[in-house]
Amino acid sequence: MSGHNKWSTIKHKKAREDAKRGKVFTKIIREITVAARQGGGDPDSNPRLRSAVAAAKAANMPLDNLKRAIQRGTGELPGVTYEETSYEGYGPGGVAVMLECLTDNKNRTTPEVRHLFTKAGGNLGENGSVSWLFTRKGLILIPRSEGLDEDQVMEIALESGAEDLDTEDPEYFRVFTAADELHQVKEGIEAGGLTVESAEFDMEPSTTVKLEGKKAQQMIRLMEAFEDHDDVQNVWANFEMDDELLESLS
């Protein structure tokens, strides 16, 4: 519905373009390595790794890169050890921001994240300062195509266990799931004959902050700065703005 945060879809569109230049490979490789280290190198028994492998394939990552990332995670090849860490803070206009990071040097990442917040007129907060505003969900993107209508997608999605369907985006049907049912719903949707372009975790805010003008511009620049940071895997925020403005600024 209209209350869902649209940044995740905007981010996916930008990542799709960045993938053409290999810009997303660094983040995906880190995720694959950590997922394999924590849950083993078999995607069939490791849901986190399965998601990362799917992202790698969607970005057209060479299979050799994918294999080596898994082997680094399982210890078959030497590699850098990444630490999972999260940050919370406030952006322009009091917007709540959450970051998930993978870093090999937290002493480098923390001041860099703090600087990006400060530069945008926000501030880095304590863990727990804004996370209570968000609920972890699954988000599945189904590309629109000729002959595919809302009723058809709704029926298949709900039968697969989806919680909600957002039809406002001109390029995608956005399907929301419980976090622990993301892969089950994705497989059900694909079994129903629909194409899934992306299936990933999302953080949905319980309340949003409406931004306009200069603060909207500052917020988009902050989100893009976080997305461009190699250590930042995911960024979420509870801002909203008019669709036309969001598209024009992103």
Residue 29 lies in a domain: yes
pLDDT tens, position by position, 111-160: 999 999 999 999 999 999 999 999 999 999 999 988 888 999 999 999 99
- The CATH number of residue 67's host domain is 1.10.10.200
What is the bridge-based pairing of β-strands 96-103 and 134-143? unpaired
Residue 65 lies in a domain: yes
Residue 166 lies in a domain: no
Residue 67 lies in a domain: yes
Query: Which range of residues forms the domain containing residue 33?
Result: 7-74
The angle that helices 7-19 and 213-228 make with each other, rounded to 10 degrees, is 50
Least confident of 21-25, 26-30, 85-89: 21-25
Residue 192, C-beta contacts closer than 8 angstroms, at least 6 positions apart: 156, 159, 160
What is the bridge-based pairing of β-strands 172-178 and 164-166? antiparallel
**Average per-residue pLDDT for the chain:** 89
User: Please, which pLDDT band fits residue 2 given cuts at 50, 70 and 90?
Assistant: very low
Number of domains in the chain: 1
142 and 153 in contact (C-beta within 8 Å)?
yes
Tokens matching residue 212: 């306009």
93 and 121 in contact (C-beta within 8 Å)?
no
Residue 97 lies in a domain: no
Tokens matching residue 42: 């078999």
Number of residues in the chain: 250
User: What distance in Å separates the CA atoms of residue 176 and residue 203, rounded to the nearest whole number?
Assistant: 11
Residue 119 lies in a domain: no
pLDDT tens, position by position, 75-112: 999 988 999 999 999 999 999 999 999 999 999 999 99
Residue 102 lies in a domain: no
Tokens matching residue 72: 């680094």
Tokens matching residue 203: 């953080």
Segment holding 163, helix H or strand E: none
Residue 58 lies in a domain: yes
Residue 152, C-beta contacts closer than 8 angstroms, at least 6 positions apart: none
